[in-house]
Structure 1
C-alpha cells in the first residue's frame, strides 16, 4: 500500500512544481529581502531529504557572484553551544513538516544572533514557520507515503527560484521550471514502464553505491536515502572522486553502481 501511495505522489510532482512557481509574489518578497541583506554567508540546514536538497543549494546560491553558501552544522549550535557569529548571515532552513525540533531551535538561535532567517516548508504555520523571519511555502502538498518525493523536487526548485530572483532572473528561472514540469509529466509514463527491469535486477542486492558530483551530488544523496528507506538496502552516496579513494575496492560484478 505504501508503494502505491508513493507512486501516486510521484505522479503529482509536475503539479506540485507548477503550484510552487505560481507563488511569484511570495518568491519575489523572500528573494528581495535576501538580496537586500547582502549576506556574507548563506547557511542551509535540514535533515534527511531536506539536507540533501541543501547540498544543491550550495551550488544554486554559491555560484552567484560574491555569495558563499554552505550546509551548516545544526549540532554545533544546538547541542554543543558553539558561539557561532550569525550577524551578516542568512539562514535557509528546509523542512517538509516544519516540526523538527533541532532545526526550529537552530533557526531561533540564528535569528536571535542577527541572521536573516528563511523557512522553506510545506507547513507555513508550523513551529519552523513561526520561528523564522520569512517563510516560503513549498506547496508540495501532503506527503502521505512519508518518503518525501514531491518535497525534494520543490525544495530544489525553490532554491533555484530564490537564486534566480536574487539576481533579477525570477521569470526566466520560473519559465524553466514550468518546462521541467511539462517534461516530467510527459516522461513519467515511459519511466514507469522502464523501471521494472531495473528493480528486478536489484531485488536481491543488499548494498550499492550512488555516484554524483557537483550539482548532481544532492540527487545522488537523495537516491541513496530513498533506496535505503524504501528498499532496505545499504546505499551509499559518493562523489566520483571519493569512489576511487578507497570504496572502489569494494566493487565486484554483483555490486550495483548508480551514476547520476
Structure 2
C-alpha cells in the first residue's frame, strides 16, 4: 500500500477541528439563534455546490426533523441565468462553501439578503466574497485543505450544522454528544478495510445507499468514488432504490449501505435482506454496536465498523470519517492519486 495520502491525513485532522469549533464562532451562533428564536423563519433555503451541497442536504434533514423548519436548496441558475425574482422575506438562507469564491453562490446570497432573508455563510476561508455578502458568518475553521477531494471541510460543515441545531433547539444532550466526537474520531480502529477493498478493486460501478440523515452521506460517498477512484457511483435513498434502480441489483452487484441508530434502521436492515436474496456484494458501514446487535442479519455482509453510536446526527460524522480513508486506499489500489484527480481543480468557478 502507498504512503498515506493527503486525503487520509486531512481526514485525521477532523477531531481537532471539531474541538476548536466548540470555542470559535460561538458568539455569532448565539446571536443568530436568539434572532431566529425571537422571529422564527417560515422556511430555510440552502446555497451550495459539490460536497458542500451534500452538507446542506444534511442540514435539510436536521432542520426539518429537529426544528420543524421546511428547508430546500436554491438552484443557483434560478438567479444567475434565469434572473428570477424570488421573495425571501421571513426566510433564513444560508450558504456552505470551502472557498466562498463561487460567483453563483455569491450572487444568490446577495439576492436573498436584498429580498429580506436572514443570511448566514459557513465558509472555510476567511474574508471571502461570500462572507462579505452575508449578514452572519461562521468559520469552518478547518485550515488549509490541500487535497482536491474535500474531507475535513465537509466534516466541519456537518458539525457546524449540528452545532447550529443544538443551540437553536437548546438541546444540551446534542451539545454533549458533539463535544464527545473529537475523542471518538481520534481513536484508531483496529479493523482494516482489506475485505471491502478487495470487493471494489476491479468494479466499474457501485451504488451507495442511505436513508434520512445518511442519504447525504451516500451522495457524498458516490461523489468521492467518482473523483478519487474513477469509479462510477450513484447514490439512492433506501426508499427510492426499491423503485426502478432495484432492477440493477443482481448477483455480485456491489453496494455500500449506511446504517444509523434511529427510526430508519429497521427499514435499512430489511433492504439489506432483499439485497442478500439477490446475492449482491454488500458493504455495510455502521457503528460497532449496531453491527453487534444485528450480526445475524449482517452475516453475509462485509462490514466496516465505526465508533459506537452517540445519536443519529453525530453518527453521520463518524460514518463519513470512516469512509474517506477507505476511498483513498481504494484509489491507490486502482492506481490513482486520490489527492490529484486528473480532470478536477480545488476551486471550481460556476455561474
Higher mean Cα deviation, 98-107 or 250-259? 250-259
Q: TM-score, normalised by structure 2?
A: 0.69
Match of 2:53 among 48, 51, 54: 51
Q: Is the aligned partner of 1:245 residue 2:246?
A: no
Q: In 2, Cα distance between the equivalents of 1:65 and 1:15? A: 28
- Report the secondary structure of 2:239's partner residue: helix
Paired with 1:177 and 1:167, the residues of 2 have a C-alpha distance of 14
Shift of 1:163: 1.3
2-side partners of 1:199 and 1:32: how far apart? 47
Partner of 2:82: helix, strand, or coil?
coil
Counterparts of 1:77-156 in structure 2, within 5 Å, are 77-156=79-158
Return the index of the structure with the highest Cα Rg: 2
In structure 2, what is the Cα distance between the partners aligned to 1:148 and 1:54? 14
Gap change, CA 1:134 and 1:75, over 3 Å in 2: same
Residue 223 of structure 1 corresponds to 221
Measure how far apart 1:231 and its partner are.
0.4
Instruction: Show the counterpart of 1:38.
Output: 40
Provide the aligned length of Structure 1 versus Structure 2.
256
Tell me how far apart the structure 1 counterparts of residues 53 and 132 of structure 2 sit (CA, whole Å).
20
Could you tell me how far apart the structure 1 residues matched to 2:73 and 2:140 are? Answer: 19
Q: Contact 2:47–2:95 (CA<8 Å) still a contact in 1?
A: yes
Deviations 1:196-249 (A, max 9, x none): 331232111111100011111111111111111100111100011111111111
Structure 1 residue aligned with 2:174: 173
Aligned in 2, Cα 1:2/1:242: closer, same or farther, shift over 3 Å? Answer: farther
How many Å separate the matches in 1 of 2:149 and 2:117? 31
Q: Return structure 1 stretches of 4+ with deviation > 6 angstroms.
A: none
TM-score of the aligned structures, taking structure 1 as reference length: 0.92
Residue 14 (1) aligns with residue 12 (2) = no
The question of whether the paired residues in 2 share the 8 Å contact of 1:31 and 1:163 is answered with no
Alpha carbons of structure 1 residues 194 and 204: separation in structure 2 relative to 1, 3 Å: same
- Secondary structure, aligned partner of 1:27: helix
Which structure is higher in helix share? 1
Task: State the Cα deviation string for residues 62-92 of structure 1 (Å, max 9, x = none).
Answer: 1245422222222212221222111111111
- Unmatched runs of 5 consecutive residues or more in structure 2: 259-351
Please give the root-mean-square deviation of Cα atoms over the aligned residues, in Å. 1.8
Structure 1: stretches of 5+ with no match in the other structure: none
Instruction: Report the CA distance between 1:61 and its aligned residue.
Output: 1.3
